Amino acid sequence: MIADRGGASRHGAQNPAYSPVADIYDMADVVITGAARINGAVRLPGDKSLSHRCALLGAVADGNSTIENYSGGADCQSSLRCVEALGVTVERDPETPGKITIHGVGLHGLREPRERLDAGNSGSTLRMLSGILAAQPFASSIGGDASLSRRPMRRIMAPLTGMGARIEAEEGGLPPLRYSPSPGLHGISYALPVASAQVKSAILFAGLYAQGTTQVTEPVPTRDHSEVLLRAMGVPLRRGRHLELAGPVERLAPLQKFFVPGDPSSAAFFLCAAAALPESDLLISDVSLNPTRSALLDVLARMGAKPAVASIEEQSGELVGSLHLEGPRQRLTGTTIAGAEAAALIDEIPILAVLATATRDGIEFRDVAELRVKESDRLCAIAENLRAMGAQCDEREDGLFVPGQQTLRGGTIASHGDHRIAMAFAIAGLLAEGQTLIGDAGCASVSYPGFFSDLKRLTDQ
């Protein structure tokens, strides 16, 4: 058992005694102490990537889409609020959290918003919705919070303007983005310079409205949720060396009782904790097992952990199942993550960097410069916080090396308002000696509102 200790709240008062994770979740700061294990079962919030796409495509479907286990995270709620501002009715079932009905208005039924659309902190909302807004016969604009307003959007502006869209941005391609009606979009053959499922999706969504064939070539394969949903909604999307969509599309069929599986990027925090704590026994149910999202399982297995698929089935084109992981008896080996694998694991790099400290040989990360333009400069934030916990790391322009066999010490962690940094270093707190204060821990609600509650339950032995 972990000894109870007091922890400071954001108001400076001492919290009541607690074991590993502080009991007060509505505070800006959370205090965590070391744990011997992750033990128990958890059901995760709906996958963030799929939830966004269900909201955006459901809005322009021809009829009502019923979505179950829609993510309650703030980012995905931003997508819902944006489509509502465009004249789409969204019903939320008060008896069943995560169950919504989207009353789709068809591809040409959106209305001009009364004011600027607010994507909050969600780059996913802004990027993918841009593909739809660029094709509308009315003017609109979309922005977000201070963090999102610092994230360049040139990578979506380039292909969309190449299709005939009229888009203006602030200096440097920064939000807010402003769209003017164009004479009409046309298909484009576009090779993505950097792998991005969101940019790919924005182009495909614009392609629904465009005259002619829209063709997208990826440098490496990225998550394919948009393709799965488009096919489920009746779009004859061709996949080979390129993705091809013939437009304009007349209609999208609504989604019938679509279940959003648990978010594998959220699962990563618990899986890596279980892989680092040898007494762990973890079961994650109803999680996405989409092959384009399984790279973490491959990496953990390569390093000596043994994640097992306990069950699997196909639902609406997506693989869903349960994962089981027992803490390994020996310290994990190290590895290198680069190239296509780095692109597939871009959201999991922060927690893998934490796990690296508990491995034998450490982990080297290459080709992850994309992390510098996320909710924070994640490479810098990872390095800064590892050093605050007494660890060594080598931060590079497009990567990071974190040596293994390091003992973490409790410290004060700056989340930088970034949900993945907050959650990754909460796990670091479980591995550390002493207590760790996660500043602005509430930002975890961007993707996983119940994270600290679930973490407490899984460690409160």
Residues noted as catalytic: 347
**In 3D, which of 171, 130, 121, 111 has the Cα closest to residue 148?**
121
Angstrom CA distances, 65 to 138, 218, 307, stand at: 25, 30, 34
Other Cβ atoms less than 10 A from the Cβ of 45: the count is: 24
Q: Is 172 helix (H, G, I), strand (E, B) or coil?
A: coil
Distance CA 305, CA 278 (A): 10
Per DSSP, 370 falls in state G
Other beta carbons less than 10 A from residue 14's beta carbon = 10
Whether omega before 176 lies within 30 degrees of 0, making that bond cis, reads: yes
Residues contacting 359, CB < 8 A, separation 6+: 303, 331, 332, 333, 334, 404, 405
Q: Give the count of beta carbons closer than 10 Å to the beta carbon of residue 191.
A: 11
What tokens were used for 278? 């040898």
d(CA 276, CA 349): 15
Distance CA 426, CA 415 (A): 10
311 φ, ψ to 5°? -160, 155
Rounded distance between C-alpha atoms, residue 375 and residue 69, angstroms: 25
Order of all β-strands in the sheet with 412-414: 30-33, 435-439, 412-414
Distances (CA, A) of 216 to 193, 199, 239, 306, 317: 11, 10, 10, 36, 21
